[in-house]
Structure 1
Amino acid sequence: MQERESERELVTPGDVLGKATDLKAGKGAYVASHNNTVYASLTGRRSVLPPPPDSSDQRPIVEVTGHKAHGAVPEPGSIIIARVTKVMARMASTDIMCVGPKSVREKFTGTIRQQDVRATEIDKVDMHSSFRPGDIIRALVLSLGDARAYYLSTAKNELGVVSAESPAGGTMVPISWTEMQCPLTGQIQQRKVAKVGS
């Protein structure tokens, strides 16, 4: 763990990150051709990532992850607010809108897998009864998943759908852990509802 922390030192634009013979420039970094040196192009934390296993270039990749001033960035353990964009049989896709109280400026996508929807009866989770496109959810970031999407979890009581619109255009009201009701039509839909309050 000690080593990981030293890898994450703060750098500013123009700081030397290493030689291009040893490192490949990733996000937030560039190579100056006149001296073959990798420099930081933004303020943030320096991190070194292993090269993709299928890459012919086996140099580690050095990245600078934008400092919080550039808008919030989801990290494992952070609570986020996201909008559901697509629901499939085994997962739901979301666009992350806020990390904690801060809004994000870049596009981050999140994926909620079937096994991360709730803590109990995981095998009985029906994604279409848990989320619908357009729902606003509160979720926990588990890890950076694949294809730049974060894996999210709504398995705690306080996580899940916080706001949903009914087919009639009303803002649905939670009536239980698993149901929300349209105030206009009285129609009830199933959801993985976030518990409000204590």
Structure 2
Amino acid sequence: MVVKEEEMVLVTPGEVLGKATEVKAGKGAYVAKHNGLVYASLTGLLRTLSPPPDSPDQRPTVEVTGHKAHGPVPEPGSVVIARVTKVMTRMASADIMCVGAKSVREKFSGIIRQQDVRATEIDKVDMHLSFRPGDIVRASVLSLGDARAYFLSTAKNDLGVVSAESTAGGTMVPISWTEMQCPLTGQTEQRKVAKVGT
């Protein structure tokens, strides 16, 4: 396959790469059935690969190769580890530190909205009793939200706060789904705790 180097451009998820009648979707690309367009599924460099001369299908293949220098990028469905930076009445903001087991090299921001904290009794969620600044949370990526921040969810049992520091400076241990305890003072603080183990 011949790579047309001059056509290598940086693309982002959701960007249209061409029509399925004219190009084939390779790695990092997909065809939307409803409109027959080929879209990028990740951030990276767009490569156009020419088909072999003897191929019956003479459409070039477009593929997006992840930008290795940038490290992993959060995508809808991926599980991330994030540090809570600010807690407001209706949402908490966080800095994403890891995607899966890999640490990120860029700064990605995440937002956990009130309706995405847990699966039940959503209207009773108190953000200030679910998270505190500095908490380390495990969350899943819902979508790329607004203002370049990812919408995150902790609504599954295994998602939520995995590490938190108490007001006394101790690393708290989870004692229930909604509470963590300071080993230094024995005081409990409320959190949306991630269930550990099975």
User: Taking structure 2 as the reference length, what is the TM-score of the superposition?
Assistant: 0.71
Q: Which residue of 2 aligns with 1:27?
A: none
Structure 1 position 64, deviation (Å): 7.8
Q: Which residue of 2 aligns with 1:132?
A: 132
Moved over 4 A (4+): 44-47
Structure 1 position 47, deviation (Å): 5.4
Q: Which residue of 2 aligns with 1:178?
A: 178
Structure 1 position 174, deviation (Å): 0.2
Q: Which residue of 2 aligns with 1:108?
A: 108
Residues 112, 152 of structure 2: 8 Å contact kept: yes
Residues 47, 65 of structure 1: 8 Å contact kept: no
Give a deviation string over 1:87-124, Cα, whole Å, max 9, x none. 00000000000000011000000000000000000000
Structure 1 position 15, deviation (Å): 3.8
Q: Establish whether residue 65 from structure 1 lines up as the match of residue 64 from structure 2.
A: no
Q: How does 1:47-58 map to 2 (within 5 A)?
A: 48=15
Q: Establish whether residue 164 from structure 1 lines up as the match of residue 164 from structure 2.
A: yes
Structure 1 position 48, deviation (Å): 2.0
Q: Secondary structure at 1:152's aligned position in 2?
A: strand
Q: Secondary structure at 2:95's aligned position in 1?
A: strand
Structure 1 position 65, deviation (Å): 1.7
Residues 96, 107 of structure 1: 8 Å contact kept: yes
- Structure 2 CA distance, aligned partners of 1:45 and 1:190? 39
Structure 1 position 63, deviation (Å): 11
| Matched AA of 1:48 | E
- Relative to structure 1, is the Cα distance of residues 64 and 174 closer, same or farther in structure 2, using a 3 angstrom cutoff? closer
Identity of aligned residues (%): 76
Residues 43, 67 of structure 2: 8 Å contact kept: no
Q: Secondary structure at 2:43's aligned position in 1?
A: strand
Q: Could you list the runs of 5+ residues in structure 2 that have no partner in the other structure?
A: 17-39, 45-65
- Structure 2 CA distance, aligned partners of 1:183 and 1:72? 35
Structure 1 position 46, deviation (Å): 7.7
RMSD: 2.3
- Structure 2 CA distance, aligned partners of 1:138 and 1:63? 23
Q: Establish whether residue 154 from structure 1 lines up as the match of residue 132 from structure 2.
A: no
Q: Secondary structure at 1:195's aligned position in 2?
A: coil
Give a deviation string over 1:114-145, Cα, whole Å, max 9, x none. 00000000000000000000000000000000
- Structure 1 CA distance, aligned partners of 2:42 and 2:154? 30
- Structure 2 CA distance, aligned partners of 1:186 and 1:168? 10
Structure 1 position 157, deviation (Å): 0.1
Q: Could you list the runs of 5+ residues in structure 1 that have no partner in the other structure?
A: 1-10, 17-38, 50-61
| Matched AA of 2:180 | M
Residues 82, 96 of structure 1: 8 Å contact kept: yes
